[in-house]
Chain A
Amino acid sequence: MDASVLSPAPRASFRHQRRRRLLAGLSLGVGLMALVVYALGQGSYPLTAGEVLTALRAGPAAPDPAAHVIWSIRLPRLLAALLAGMSLALAGAVMQSVLRNPLASPMTLGVSQGAAFGATCAIVLLGAGELNRLGPETVVIEQPYLVVGAALVGGLCTAAAILLIALLRQLRPEALVLAGIALGAFSSAGTMLVQYFASDTQAAATLFWTFGDLGKAGWREVGWLALVLAPLLVLLTRTGWQLNAMAWGEDSARALGVAVARLRLTVLAAGAVLAAVSTAFLGVIGFVGLIAPHLVRLIIGVDHRYLLPYAALAGAIVLLGADTLGRLIIAPVVLPVGAVTAMLGAPLLLALLLRRGER
């Protein structure tokens, strides 16, 4: 008997797959919300989920101490974690797609280190900020525009170098990552050199950029991150179909009407901007951009229309989870989140490399 008579129309399987993906997205969203409430309640002033919600509803001006803890201390840090996690994961996802390289990420390509180098130069050589021991926040960036601008230049230059290397020489994935490591090491060395010639206070200020720390984030930084992320999230999500076409190779994509060169350039630049801005404010946070897209691929596959927004969600979960872990594991000492993600991420990178080597 003809199988097509018995089985439903082919699109039934497509519809089923779409439902499963929407469900997966919903689960990610619910998981993130739960983690948010949990993270807001944890710390030296513990709050229950109910108290957290009450404090959130009370608003920043409420006299209640819980409201103060939530609105002035925990919420900006938490939002910074969410926004930076989304930015880095999105950057990693598009870098992996456009370079067709599963090991690409802001950190492995050296973009984050390049941005940190730029920020350091702005602080030391251009005098954009210095250590201020008076406030609870130890670093005051006096000229955020200058620091962000310099970080952007550093990050974009590194991304441009990577793109050139990838285009001029068809490097194997491992080789491209080695090139990224070389560029990253160059930027790190540059950062150290600049620090060497800096004054004590300036050097202390730049030390933050060598490891990512969410403690630097206040409402202003959160605003900046959101301002950059929102338009780029929309822009990148809209390229989902084109990135799907790119996955089949450049010629196939061109034959489907995709402007390959322009797509690669805009998408990579957008990814570099996302990585550079979060690095400018929070320092180098590695591995979120590498891990989050891979986690999402395991769950929903390689369709970029879902992969990009879901990777952003997963990045938020990973970074907030890592930061919460860093705050609680040896409380009251708060570990910098960059160290936590590196601790968790390095084994994962090794696992990825080894698995590729087997094939």
Chain B
Amino acid sequence: MLGIEALSIGHGGRTLLRGLDLELPAGALLAVLGPNGAGKSTLIRTLAQLHPPLGGRVRLDDTPLDRLERVARARQIAYLPQQSRPVAVTVYEAVLLGRVPHLRWQTGERDLALVDDILDHLGLAALAGRRCTELSGGELQKVLIGRALAQAPRLLLLDEPVNHLDLANRLEVLALVRRTARERDLVTLVVLHDLNLALRFADRFLLLDGDGGHRTGDMATLTPEQVERAYRVPVVRGELAGHPLFVPI
């Protein structure tokens, strides 16, 4: 369970988000939404302890995050930055890298078994010996998610994981993230630009309005008024083929 209390974030003397209170149970998938520059990435980086908060408390299963020592933190929190340039190592090595916070000196049988399992889970087993530089965007993103899972975290933080992917890969990667979050009981936060993708895969929503304010809750929170206020674009909400949908007008 992730418990956020009165969290304020920002950088360079600017407050991006004030007084966020949020509680997320294990297995929940939260979509972080909002216009460019509203602080979505900063929030994710703050939660990953890569950026200091302006105030507030964050607990993960009753442990305050800022109390966690560097390596202990890496065993609890996995973070995928917005964009990773691939390195010319094999898919297997890239996923195995996620075991670094758990290693003492060498990889053991357990690490290898775990990586095998993750590669199967992600459908990447056949690519194990392929170099990451030779992968498609969707495959690379799955490898990076695999690395995050190899950390065996409780909290999974994904910053725009589907931004440069095509439609099929967006759906596949997000479905995979949702399935993983449920099966492995992870608290998952995903930064997304596409409202409709968020509606389709997330069960909680955090909408940043760019002025320090925010709305959080389930799907009902995302009213056309709130969305318009955040993105400054008038929208209507409808439904198509059973999927809720926002359309700018």
Q: How many of A's residues come within 8 Å of B, CB to CB?
A: 29
The answer to whether A255 and B79 touch (CB under 8 A), given A10-B125, A301-B88, is yes
Q: Which residues of B contact A248 (CB under 8 A)?
A: 84-85, 87, 97
Q: Which residues of A contact B71 (CB under 8 A)?
A: 257
The answer to whether A251 and B128 touch (CB under 8 A), given A11-B115, A258-B100, is no
Interface string of B52-95 (1 = CB under 8 A from A): 00000000000000000011011101111100110111101100
Query: Which of A4, A254, A256 is the one whose CB lies under 8 Å from B120?
Result: A4
- Cα separation A7 to B124 with both chains bound (whole Å): 12
User: Are B84 and A255 touching (Cβ within 8 A)?
Assistant: no
> Does A303 have its Cβ within 8 Å of any Cβ on chain B?
yes
> Does A170 have its Cβ within 8 Å of any Cβ on chain B?
no
Among listed A31-39, A155-163, A238-246, interface-contacting one: A238-246
- Cα separation A258 to B128 with both chains bound (whole Å): 25
Closest residue of chain B to A305, judged by CB? B106
User: Are A254 and B125 touching (Cβ within 8 A)?
Assistant: no
User: Are A257 and B100 touching (Cβ within 8 A)?
Assistant: yes
Closest residue of chain A to B112, judged by CB? A11
Interface string of A3-23 (1 = CB under 8 A from B): 110010111011011000000
> Does B50 have its Cβ within 8 Å of any Cβ on chain A?
yes
Interface string of A94-135 (1 = CB under 8 A from B): 000000000000000000000000000000000000000000
Q: Which residues of A contact B97 (CB under 8 A)?
A: 241, 244-245, 248, 256
The answer to whether A244 and B77 touch (CB under 8 A), given A11-B115, A11-B116, A255-B50, is no
Q: Which residues of A contact B74 (CB under 8 A)?
A: 255-257
> Does A199 have its Cβ within 8 Å of any Cβ on chain B?
no
User: Are B73 and A257 touching (Cβ within 8 A)?
Assistant: yes
> Does A266 have its Cβ within 8 Å of any Cβ on chain B?
no
The answer to whether A3 and B126 touch (CB under 8 A), given A14-B92, A303-B89, is yes
> Does B22 have its Cβ within 8 Å of any Cβ on chain A?
no
**8 other A-B residue contacts (CB within 8 Å) besides A244-B100, A259-B70:** A10-B125, A11-B116, A14-B96, A16-B129, A241-B97, A255-B78, A255-B80, A256-B97
Per CB-CB distance, the 10 closest pairs between chain A and chain B, nearest first, are A257-B74, A13-B129, A10-B128, A255-B79, A257-B101, A257-B71, A251-B81, A14-B92, A4-B125, A10-B119
Interchain Cβ contacts under 8 Å between A and B, 27 examples: A4-B126, A10-B119, A11-B112, A11-B116, A14-B112, A17-B92, A241-B103, A242-B100, A244-B89, A245-B97, A245-B100, A247-B89, A249-B85, A251-B50, A252-B80, A255-B48, A255-B78, A255-B79, A255-B80, A257-B70, A257-B73, A257-B74, A257-B100, A257-B101, A301-B88, A303-B89, A303-B93
